[in-house]
Structure 1
Amino acid sequence: MEAHEYPNGEITILWKPKLCIHAAVCVKTLPKVYNPKARPWIKTENSTTQELIEQVAKCPSGALSIKKRT
């Protein structure tokens, strides 16, 4: 399944559009990071790594996930 990658230097947010149910939990939780009208729509630089990890854990569909740097 195709995933779009949004890195911040410490982690990468993976977004799988086919899993997304558009519950907008991400947008409501971190509106400075997630803006569906912008391109790219995820701006990881607008939040801390810890906030991003905590928000992604709340994604109800699993469309958002975290890939840690190795």
Structure 2
Amino acid sequence: MEIHEYSNEEITVLWMPKKCIHAGVCVKTLSRVYNPKARPWINVENATSEELIRQIAKCPSGALSIKRR
């Protein structure tokens, strides 16, 4: 399965595009991090690790997950 990784000093955000159902929870919750028009579309530097962890817990498909560094 294809997995994209986006890291800061504390965590790595994992995104599995094939699992994504495009519910938009990520974009609605942290639009400063998730911008579908940008490349890369996830910029983890625009939020704290705790904000990212809370938001990713709300992902309905499980396409986003966290790996602690």
Structure 2 residues not aligned, in runs of 5+: none
Who is 2:57 aligned against?
Answer: 57
Q: TM-score w.r.t. structure 2 length?
A: 0.98
Q: Which residue identity is paired with 1:55?
A: Q
Q: Distance in 2 between matches of 1:9 and 1:23?
A: 28
- Structure 1 consecutive aligned stretches of length 4 or more whose deviation exceeds 3 Å: none
Who is 1:45 aligned against?
Answer: 45
Structure 1 residues not aligned, in runs of 5+: none
Who is 2:17 aligned against?
Answer: 17
Q: CA RMSD in A?
A: 0.4
Q: Which residue identity is paired with 2:20?
A: C
Q: Tell me, yes or no, if structure 1 residue 36 matches structure 2 residue 36.
A: yes
Instruction: Say which SS state the counterpart of residue 12 (structure 2) adopts.
Output: strand
Q: Distance in 2 between matches of 1:40 and 1:9?
A: 18
**Identity of counterpart residues, as a percentage?**
75
Q: How many residues are paired up?
A: 69
Q: Tell me, yes or no, if structure 1 residue 2 matches structure 2 residue 2.
A: yes
Deviation at 1:52, TM superposition (A): 0.2
